[in-house]
């Protein structure tokens, strides 16, 4: 086994990051070099300096993973990629049956040929999914709270206030592989590569990131009033919201465009993009 390059991000705000990293010296039988990703200015140069027997351990959450897959998009490298989940939500790890702080595991096969989204003419690879609607709104509000306080953001409280008072649903046009669907009063329209996002929500419980057709799934939560939506919303954490077939629909395909009738915040693997009216998600096929 070659040298292990441990990539971490102190600016991500994970609690006990330094202490958690020390654990790797105990469980990894290899020479480790620790690198703050803020110091990697050019991934093509960095990766070209690694031998095939070397390996990388990415430490952090879904956002850190998202930055890695986008910063290395289009760059060929042969070393193995491991993941040490230390984030808040760890949805990618959960989808693969792992939990926060588990021993590093290989993700090389999972970060190749990933789907991407086109948002405001820019391309974004994603590992979990795209949230569009009140989920994006929650990320927007959460980001603002982080600027003024060190307290942990309560996204559930943000969602409840949004559902009852602050967030207004939109009308949507959703086109899946050339077939267009029209929906009124849409609260959520995420497109998923995996099952989980948002710290344990399961909008598309049957979605398999390794499905042979490599399809994506979009969940549309629509035509529901505030109180009814609030009653159904908690069941999304168990994937039971899909029982409400008059309010929830799952669409699957390889190219999915979601267009709202007004700008709304959107999140890609937890990274917020403001004032979005449309996104197009494309599978790796």
Per CATH, the number for 116-282 is 2.60.200.40
- The DSSP call for residue 205 is T
- Which residues make beta-bridge pairs with 80? 55
Class of domain 4-110: alpha beta
Tokens of 269: 């693997």
Domain ranges of the chain: 4-110, 116-282
Confidence bin at 153 (pLDDT 50/70/90): confident
**pLDDT score for 285:** 67
| Inter-CA distances, 200 with 7, 24, 249, Å | 25, 26, 20
Residue 60 · residue 47 · CB < 8 Å? no
Residue 168 has pLDDT above 60, yes or no: yes
Write out the two tokens for 102: 């588990």
Any bridge partners for residue 281, and if so which?
Answer: 117, 256
**Of residues 213 and 270, which shows the higher confidence score?**
213
Q: Is the pLDDT confidence value at 15 over 60?
A: no
**pLDDT at residue 143 above 90?**
no
Mean pLDDT, residues 66-84 taken together: 94
pLDDT at 154: 81
| Cα distance between residue 21 and residue 145, in whole Å | 28
* pLDDT band, residue 33 (cuts 50/70/90): very high
Least confident of 29-33, 70-74, 144-148: 144-148
- Mean of per-residue pLDDT scores for the chain: 92
Query: Which residue has tokens 């042969």?
Result: 78
Helices (H), ranges, 120-253: 134-148, 155-161, 226-232
Q: How far is residue 71 from each of residues 44, 68, 173, 194, measured CA to CA in Å?
A: 9, 5, 31, 21
Name the pLDDT band for 13 (thresholds 50, 70, 90): low
pLDDT of 148: 86
Distance CA 87, CA 60 (A): 5
- C-alpha 100: how far from chain center: 16
Query: Which contiguous run of DSSP H or E holds residue 199?
Result: none
In this predicted model, what pLDDT tens digit does every residue of 269-280 receive, in sequence order? 988 999 999 999
Query: Residue 16 — pLDDT band, cuts 50, 70, 90?
Result: low
* Cβ atoms 67, 61 nearer than 8 A: no
Paired with 55 in beta bridges are 4, 80
Candidates 185, 178, 188, 187; CA nearest to 219 is 188
Mean pLDDT score, 170-179: 98
């Amino acid at each position: 086994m070659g040298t292990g390059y441990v990539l971490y991000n102190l600016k991500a705000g994970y609690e006990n990051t330094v202490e958690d990293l020390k654990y790797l010296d105990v469980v990894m039988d290899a020479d480790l070099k620790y690198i703050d990703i803020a110091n990697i200015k050019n991934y093509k140069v960095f990766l070209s300096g690694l031998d095939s027997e070397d390996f990388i351990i990415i430490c952090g959450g879904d956002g850190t993973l998202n930055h890695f897959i986008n910063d290395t998009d289009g760059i060929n490298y042969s070393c193995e990629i491991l993941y040490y989940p230390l984030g808040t939500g760890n949805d990618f790890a959960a989808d693969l049956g792992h939990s926060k702080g588990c021993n590093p595991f290989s993700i090389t096969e999972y970060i190749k040929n990933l789907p991407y989204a086109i948002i405001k003419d820019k391309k974004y690879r994603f590992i979990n999914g795209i949230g569009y609607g009140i989920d994006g709104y929650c990320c927007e509000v959460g980001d603002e709270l982080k600027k003024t306080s060190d307290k942990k953001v309560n996204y559930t409280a943000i969602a409840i206030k949004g559902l009852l008072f602050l967030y207004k649903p939109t009308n949507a046009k959703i086109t899946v592989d050339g077939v267009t669907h029209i929906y009124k009063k849409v609260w959520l329209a995420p497109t998923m590569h995996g099952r989980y996002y948002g710290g344990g929500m399961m909008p598309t419980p049957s979605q398999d990131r390794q499905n042979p057709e490599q399809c994506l799934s979009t969940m549309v939560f629509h035509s529901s009033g505030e109180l009814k939506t609030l009653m159904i919303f908690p069941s999304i954490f168990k994937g039971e919201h899909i029982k409400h077939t008059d309010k929830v629909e799952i669409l699957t395909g390889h190219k999915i465009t979601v267009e709202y009738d007004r700008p709304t915040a959107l999140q890609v693997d937890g990274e917020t993009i403001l004032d979005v009216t449309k996104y197009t998600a494309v599978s790796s096929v």
